[in-house]
Amino acid sequence: MSDIYLEKMAKVMTQYSLKIKEGHNILITGGIEGAPLMLEVYKEVLKLGAHPVILPSLYYDQEIYYKYASDSQLKHVNPLIKFAYENYDGMIQIISQKNTKNMSNVDPKKMAMRNASYKDVIKTVSEREAKGEYQWVLTEYPTDSIAQEASMSLLDFKDFMFKACLVDKEDPVAEWKSISAKQQKICDWLDQREEFQYVGLDTDLTFSIKGRKWINCDGRMNFPDGEVFTCPVEESVNGKIRFTYPLIYQGNEVEGVTLTFKDGIVTDFSASKGEALLKEIINTDEGSNKVGEIAIGTNYGIDKFTKNILFDEKIGGTVHLALGLSAEPTIGKNISSIHMDIIKDMREGGKIFADGELFYENGKFLI
């Protein structure tokens, strides 16, 4: 990997994505495969006068954990992680997957138990975010495993990722600021509407955003980025949606997902593959059967499904829905230990209406 792209990624995340100030405590996490990028980020945080700490992980430790941990251990909240979420000013997470299938044989009930144990911690994080006390950004470090999962060579995946992140541009920060301005115009238009309807193949889903707003995702939390999303009024979601792409959870694929909602709650569901896991996800806790996010992908530079949610949920011409935790704690009220995105392609016949007006068709905005 070219050092110049690593440097640009680190600078964008520390100087644009996060508003790091002198004296801030910043946690840098990720697998050891992503060490080159973690060290570049570490350097940039130091140059800003903040206090970085690197917390690396061994990629297979989670697999070992779920294989041998007892129920009491699964319910245990790591005090180090709890302290970081409650006290640190920000976190930069660098995902580096050595084997995308290493969690595929883990008992979904164990995952659900583990996720549920962190519900209070997640609530604290959401509250701190809402107050502006905590910020975060995550990105991916290219590895052979994720490139293979995306059916690309490592070199091709690097090119794909760098273009998606805009670090192939001379001034990536300026590029992201330009995208931010364009997406804000879309959000401002959407904010003037209340009732929305998604229509497509086996899909007719309605929801309200009365009293809420659309959020401009412009490289601040996810890197790369490119979407506009909202947290619908929880009890307003009604209807049915059939998703195009599989839900990817801990290396497991749940295909052909269809969800039916009544007054904001999943009342029926099905999947052509992995239905048992889908059931476990929906039943994780009290908030996991409700919608925490509805979004529209806007990054048309991401034009193929990679089985990597960091990229896939931004595909221009798609929409996605997330079960669980509200994506933005200042506007959504749903609390859950999970946030599970599922994606639908709208480029062939998909339509979105706002207060009865068609504003999006075949993957393109009409406004």
Q: Clarify whether residues 204 and 119 are in a common domain.
A: no
Q: Clarify whether residues 23 and 130 are in a common domain.
A: yes
Q: What is the pLDDT of residues 34-46, one digit of tens each?
A: 999 999 999 999 9
Which residues are CB-contacts of 359 (< 8 A; sequence separation ≥ 6)? 189, 352, 353, 365, 366, 367
Please report the beta strands in 32-73, taking only residues with DSSP state E, as ranges in sequence order. 51-57
Mean pLDDT of 171-180: 94
Q: What is the pLDDT of residues 310-346, one digit of tens each?
A: 999 999 999 999 999 998 878 999 999 899 999 999 9
Structure tokens that stand for 178 in this block: 């330009």
| pLDDT score of 127 more than 70 | yes
CA distance to 19, 178, 204, 276, per residue, from 219 (Å): 12, 11, 30, 35
Q: In angstroms, rounded to a whole number, what is the distance separating the alpha carbons of residues 318 and 299?
A: 10
3-state secondary structure of 85: helix
Q: Determine the pLDDT at residue 1.
A: 45
Please report the beta strands in the chain, taking only residues with DSSP state E, as ranges in sequence order. 25-31, 51-57, 90-95, 135-140, 195-200, 203-208, 214-217, 227-230, 238-242, 247-249, 252-254, 258-262, 265-270, 291-297, 318-324, 339-345, 351-354, 357-361, 364-365
- Choose the weakest-confidence range: 86-95, 141-150, 247-256: 247-256
**Count of structural domains within the chain:** 2
Confidence of residue 99 (pLDDT cuts 50, 70, 90): confident
Q: Determine the pLDDT at residue 130.
A: 84
Q: Clarify whether residues 197 and 322 are in a common domain.
A: yes
Q: Clarify whether residues 47 and 80 are in a common domain.
A: yes
Q: Determine the pLDDT at residue 95.
A: 92
Q: Clarify whether residues 138 and 190 are in a common domain.
A: no
Q: Clarify whether residues 151 and 179 are in a common domain.
A: no
Q: Clarify whether residues 151 and 227 are in a common domain.
A: no
Residue 210: CB atoms within 10 Å: 11
**Tell me, what CATH number does 126's domain have?**
3.40.1830.10
Q: Clarify whether residues 311 and 212 are in a common domain.
A: yes
Q: Determine the pLDDT at residue 148.
A: 94
Give phi and psi for 55, each to the nearest 5.
-120, 85
Boundaries of domain holding 183: 173-365
Higher pLDDT, 307 or 329: 307
For residue 112, which amino acid is it?
A
Q: In angstroms, rounded to a whole number, what is the distance separating the alpha carbons of residues 316 and 297?
A: 5
Single out the residue in 112, 147, 168 at which a domain terminates. Answer: 168
Compute the mean pLDDT over every residue in the chain, rounded to the nearest whole number.
94
| pLDDT score of 138 more than 90 | yes
β-pair type (90-95, 25-31):
parallel
Q: Determine the pLDDT at residue 323.
A: 97
Q: Clarify whether residues 209 and 153 are in a common domain.
A: no
- Beta-bridge mates of residue 265: 262, 290
Q: Clarify whether residues 315 and 216 are in a common domain.
A: yes
Confidence of residue 103 (pLDDT cuts 50, 70, 90): confident
216 touches 228 (CB < 8 A): yes
Confidence of residue 107 (pLDDT cuts 50, 70, 90): confident
